[in-house]
Amino acid sequence: MTDATANGQTGQLTTADGKPLKQALARAQSRAKRKAFFLVLPLLAFILITFVIPIGQMLHKSFYNEGFTVHEEIGSGVRTPIMTNLAAWFDENPLGTEPNETAYAALAADLVVLKDLRAAGQAGTRINYEKSGSRSMFTKAARKADKLEPPFKEAILDLDKDWADPELWRVMRDASSSYTGNFYLAAVDRTKDVNGNVVMVDENRQVYVKLFQRTLFLSLLITFLTFVLAYPIAHLLATLPLRHSNLLMILVLLPFWTSLLVRTTSWMVLLQSQGVINDSLVGMGLLGDENRLQMMYNQLGTVIAMTHILLPFMVLPLYSVMRPINPSYVRAARSLGATSWTAFRRIYFPQTVPGIGAGALLVFILAVGYYITPALVGGADGQLISNLIAFHMQKSLNWSLAAALAALLLGGVMILYWLYDRLIGIDNLKLG
């Protein structure tokens, strides 16, 4: 450390080498900030690459799909515009214009391009996301595109009368732009009619809103059940002597050392109709063999398995808050005439609220995103919205709809997080 001296002429403090003290301190602080930045730079880069960029790509994919406008050759990476003639006709004619000979001529020209590029399946798949059966229409028409002759309207309608469907032309108009909000409409069971008005889809196709509601309800129920089970466990661990509580804590942490898939399949063995629980109840005479409980492939199985799996995430925050609570507070309340219930309600419980909030927030966020356990144990009735997101990512390959569903789920979690902050305060949350 250098000694600071006063300049006799100006009265300004300087360092031993004659530099102004203010500038020396500023440079020292700047160096300290740079060192701190470079220390956290690897972590920032990791978060940016593995978290921020993927979420940004997901949000972009939710309203961007170029399957009907651009064909990219796999391997070469060559990107070729397709359906350009039809897109030009859509630009020149407003919504509601009935397709005329010019429109069908543009469609015929684009079908030739699709055949040459072998992109008919790609374009048809994009339209098939919103209009079922469209993919086969595109592939069939593209195979015969070279043989189409004027008048093109009659020639194309001879291939398939469904080419005259106004709904099909409305979908193709929307798909002619790579940016669309239709995937978000589909994610809330809505679509557009031929005039562009937002309407509900047919009742037998309304699945996403119900799944969102089921996900919210089951996640809240699982969060409540984990709280009811974890509170006495955490209290016991916090009040026992340290040597005993550490031994019991191993039992709480033991599930973390076991694969999630193993734990889930174990519950399948326990809950199935011919499983351990039903066999035990039948063996004790509590149930008849014909009255076995159905605890698999329904919401009950999902709740039981996920409550067990997420229970440690509620126990640990509660334990970390309960452990530092001084037991003399409750004893003082009892000595002043308070009953055990009053002392717990007014003295002990309020001090554990930060742990309750932390555990509830953690369990709820994990519950809304679970899909392995509901898929294996819940079946069709016990699946959550995350299972449908996985389906669109892996089976239907409708990544844009999957991204829209995931974006809505992320938005809902962020809203609940904001409400928690406004009602309780994120500063009161304690994880340890």
pLDDT tens track of the chain, all 432 residues? 444 455 555 557 777 777 787 888 888 899 999 999 999 999 999 999 999 999 999 999 999 999 999 999 888 889 999 999 999 999 999 988 999 999 999 999 999 999 999 999 999 999 999 999 999 999 999 999 999 999 999 999 999 999 999 999 999 999 999 999 999 999 999 999 988 899 999 988 899 999 999 999 999 999 999 999 999 999 999 988 888 888 888 888 888 888 888 999 999 999 988 889 999 989 898 888 888 888 888 999 999 999 999 999 999 999 999 999 888 888 899 888 889 899 999 999 999 988 898 899 999 999 998 888 998 998 888 889 999 999 999 998 899 999 999 999 999 999 988 888 887 777 666 555
d(CA 55, CA 62): 11
Biggest CA pair distance of the chain: 104
pLDDT confidence of residue 7: 52
pLDDT confidence of residue 69: 95
pLDDT confidence of residue 410: 93
Half-sphere exposure of 181 (CA within 13 A, CB side): 8
Full-model pTM: 0.86
Domain 208-428 top-level CATH class: mainly alpha
Strands (E) located in 105-179:
none
Q: Is 279 exposed, middle or buried (0-12, 13-18, 19+ CB in 10 A)?
A: middle
SS3 191: strand
Closest CA to 319 of 225, 222, 220, 239: 239
Helix, strand, coil proportions of the chain in percent (round to 5)? 70, 5, 25
pLDDT confidence of residue 241: 87
pLDDT confidence of residue 255: 84
pLDDT confidence of residue 303: 94
C-alpha distances out from residue 364 to 13, 85, 117, 310, 351, Å: 57, 50, 48, 9, 21
pLDDT confidence of residue 11: 59
Q: Give the containing element (helix H, strand E) for 395.
A: none
Which sign does the torsion angle of CA 198, 202, 207, 210 carry? Answer: positive
